[in-house]
Chain A
Amino acid sequence: EAGVAQSPRYKIIEKRQSVAFWCNPISGHATLYWYQQILGQGPKLLIQFQNNGVVDDSQLPKDRFSAERLKGVDSTLKIQPAKLEDSAVYLCASSSTGGDKTQYFGPGTRLLVL
């Protein structure tokens, strides 16, 4: 079974530039999550999708961050414009809607904002 795929793996941009991350969840997983993990901290949930609908985006800085999952499969997370404090690893995870609560994580995209 293929895991969660993310790209790019690394990205370096200057502040005020835009950046987009892509995630392809495990086939059949209806729930998709985007997390931000700052160095030395645990992952912080940014947004959760159930199919193509948003379940929770309370911690998403909506003035600069946006995310979509138009067809209920792949998802993109965008930052526009980026700030220095956005430097972090952005993790995508997916889970099924059944009794299994396990979240399966991708390798993450490491973002450095200069």
Chain B
Amino acid sequence: SQKIEQNSEALNIQEGKTATLTCNYTNYSPAYLQWYRQDPGRGPVFLLLIRENEKEKRKERLKVTFDTTLKQSLFHITASQPADSATYLCARANNAGNMLTFGGGTRLMVKP
């Protein structure tokens, strides 16, 4: 079965530092991975999509990498701010690319 795993422990970092979150998957590499942000009491919000043939994708202070050898995606937030505190979800696409399987999410806490 296709599994996708994220570190269930919360990540605590100091404001201004770079936060790095990890997403590992099993079996074949998906056509793409997506990262979402979820705040308490709200639905997930899409952040970035990275395709299998892309090694890196950037958007403002966010950077995502996709390593098909390690079967891993890393999500970086540079110059982190307390407002970045949230749960971040990684999701993999199925073969057809039309369905997502979500990881359990990692909670990020940025302290001022």
Distance to closest chain B CB from A11 (angstroms):
15
Contact B98 A31 (CB under 8 A): yes
Task: Say whether A40 faces chain B, with CB atoms less than 8 Å apart.
Answer: yes
Distance to closest chain B CB from A17 (angstroms):
24
Q: Which of A61-69, A75-83, A101-109 contacts B (4 or more CB under 8 A)?
A: A101-109
Contact B102 A4 (CB under 8 A): no
Contact A45 B101 (CB under 8 A): yes
Q: A42-B89, A101-B32, A101-B49 are in contact. Are A4 and B101 (CB under 8 A)?
A: no
Q: Which range holds the interface residue count of chain A?
A: 20 to 34
Q: A42-B103, A44-B102, A45-B100 are in contact. Are A105 and B44 (CB under 8 A)?
A: yes
Q: Bound state CA distance, A104 and B100, in angstroms?
A: 13
Q: Which range holds the interface residue count of chain B?
A: 20 to 34
Note all chain A residues with C-beta closer than 8 A to B91.
42
Contact check: which of B45, B46, B89, B99 meets A45 at CB < 8 Å?
Answer: B99
Note all chain B residues with C-beta closer than 8 A to A35.
102
Q: Which of B43, B46, B89, B102 is packed against the most chain A CB atoms within 10 Å? A: B43
Note all chain A residues with C-beta closer than 8 A to B89.
42-43
Contact B32 A107 (CB under 8 A): no
Task: Say whether B34 faces chain A, with CB atoms less than 8 Å apart.
Answer: yes
> Top 8 closest A-B pairs, CB basis?
A105-B43, A42-B102, A102-B46, A42-B104, A43-B102, A105-B44, A42-B105, A42-B103
